[in-house]
Structure 1
């Protein structure tokens, strides 16, 4: 729990995908636990208070349809307020926990301004173009280093698009004349796990025309030293992607 609230120390940042996976796991685990307890308690009461054909005991306080079991501080009232109290504790704890994580997702980890990498992402019918701080552009493929916060500014040159990668849990509207900010980060461990070069599919999540389904791209993450060497050789150049990408204004064959 403490590790979840302290989301970055030095270079140990939490990627958005990791944060969302953790939130999903916590909600799933707690929901399964609470659901199991509630269903088990319900089934136990069904068995305990089943109608076996005998006369009920004089002390049996039967529930009345349409009436809250508040009583005068009796056992039913205690159970009611106990269940309400426990439910409130669980819900409030989950809200505080998830809100803290989502604030981190929105703001991102703190970095030195000199170390920030900001890339302009421009959507068009039907592809993606990426412009780096030195003016270099890539079409279809964004190449970035591991263990770095990558800031993206997303816009469009024609119609509404939506830039997103399900694997990285990022998604931003690409609107003509407007810019939306987002960020992501990929660890070197993930890069090593994929053989030294991690790739993530980019898709458009906004219906934007006849070539919408073909509007795909790729984010390629490589070790930082390899990226710096690649970046030094890109000044003023513009390259098409190493993957097949549709030409601006058309649909890939």
Structure 2
């Protein structure tokens, strides 16, 4: 009974990605961590170098102010002191801990991108993406096919990407989504868009003379507007304008459009 209620609730009220970290947010966070950490290390190194450069500089007096404090090695002698190598050990250990921790954290973030969000989002919107020279077809669960990708805001969207001819690569730069389109195979990608608007999807695999024309719009709509649009599709194919656009794209590409 409980399982049936959960299934019914999922269908009527689709799971959304409002509380799911989007790939774009994950990559932005990785960038910010590397930027902040790199800046901090740079500041410490420069400050340490400048401090010692000023402290032990030659003041032009002709005498060594640290003669009675530091034992200077003679020519050909190995320097002594250094606290028995403890400074080198501490600096190396701290650096190793920082680097290993950073690698482990980055790997966990990329693993999240690779595997997708929590299994609780298994009922996310699934759309098949078919690449062809030189455009994209998007097939929705009800069979509706279009060359403009429309998705709801704050909803996990899973893409199953393939190609009908040659190798392509489907990517939405603003949403940090990118995956290969391989003939006869399916690759998967996912994303969730937190802001409405129109984004650009492009092909990132040189696929012929019309490669530069292989772009399309990704329209992120409010949930209610998306549901209204989706209810009107009724499993139909692309509209007349979209079919005309596809024919025009293919004709232009075959006519020798620059790559």
Give the TM-score normalised by structure 1.
Answer: 0.81
Q: Which of these residues, 31, 34, 59, is aligned with residue 27 of structure 1?
A: 34
Equivalent residues, number: 233
Greater shift in the superposed pair: 210-219 or 234-243: 234-243
Q: Within the alignment, does 1:208 sit opposite 2:207 as a pair?
A: yes
Native 8 Å contact 1:125 1:250 kept in 2 = no
* 2:9 aligned partner: none
**CA separation in 1, counterparts of 2:243 and 2:201?**
12
2:67 to 21, 39, 57: 57
Q: Which residue of 1 aligns with 2:50?
A: 43
The answer as to 2:127 corresponding to 1:119 is: yes
* Alignment correspondent of 1:181: 188
Is the Cα contact below 8 Å between 2:144 and 2:233 reproduced in 1?
yes
Provide closer, same or farther for how the CA distance between residues 44 and 235 of structure 1 changes in structure 2, counting only shifts above 3 A. same
Q: Deviations over 1:145-201 (max 9, x none)?
A: 1111100011111111110011000111111111110000012xx22xxxxxx1111
Q: How does 1:83-122 map to 2 (within 5 A)?
A: 83-112=91-120, 115-122=123-130
Q: Residue 144 of structure 1 aligns with which residue?
A: 151
After superposition, the CA RMSD in angstroms is 3.0
C-alpha separation between the residues in 1 aligned to 2:206 and 2:166? 10
The answer to which of 36-45 and 96-105 deviates more is 96-105
Q: 1:88 to 1:33 in 2, by over 3 A?
A: same
Q: State the partner residue of 2:90.
A: 82
- The SS at the match of 1:134 is coil
Residue aligned with 1:186, SS: coil
Tell me how far apart the structure 1 counterparts of residues 85 and 52 of structure 2 sit (CA, whole Å): 16
Following TM superposition, by how much is the alpha carbon of 1:215 offset from its aligned partner in structure 2, in angstroms?
1.0
SS in 2 for 1:41: helix
Once residues 96 and 200 of structure 2 are traced to their aligned partners in structure 1, the CA distance between those partners, rounded to angstroms, is 40
Q: How big is the shift at 1:39?
A: 1.3
Compared CA separation, residues 156 and 80, structure 1 to 2 (3 A) = same
Q: Taking structure 1 as reference, are residues 49 and 75 closer, same or farther at Cα in structure 2, changes over 3 Å only? A: farther
Within the candidate set 130, 133, 139, 1:131 is matched to 139
Question: Is 2:17–2:192's contact at 8 Å kept on the other side of the alignment?
Answer: no
Residue 63 of structure 1 and its aligned partner are, at CA, apart by: 8.2
Q: What's the TM-score once normalised by structure 2's chain length?
A: 0.79
Query: Among residues 165, 174, 194, which one is paired with 1:167 in the alignment?
Result: 174
- Aligned-residue offset at 1:104: 1.4
1: CA distance, partners of 2:24 / 2:176: 5
Q: Render the CA deviation track for 1:57-113: whole Å, top value 9, x for unaligned.
A: 25535689xx998x67x4362221121122112112212222222221111112557
Structure 2 segments unaligned to the other structure (5+ residues): 1-15
- Which of 23-32 and 85-94 deviates more? 85-94
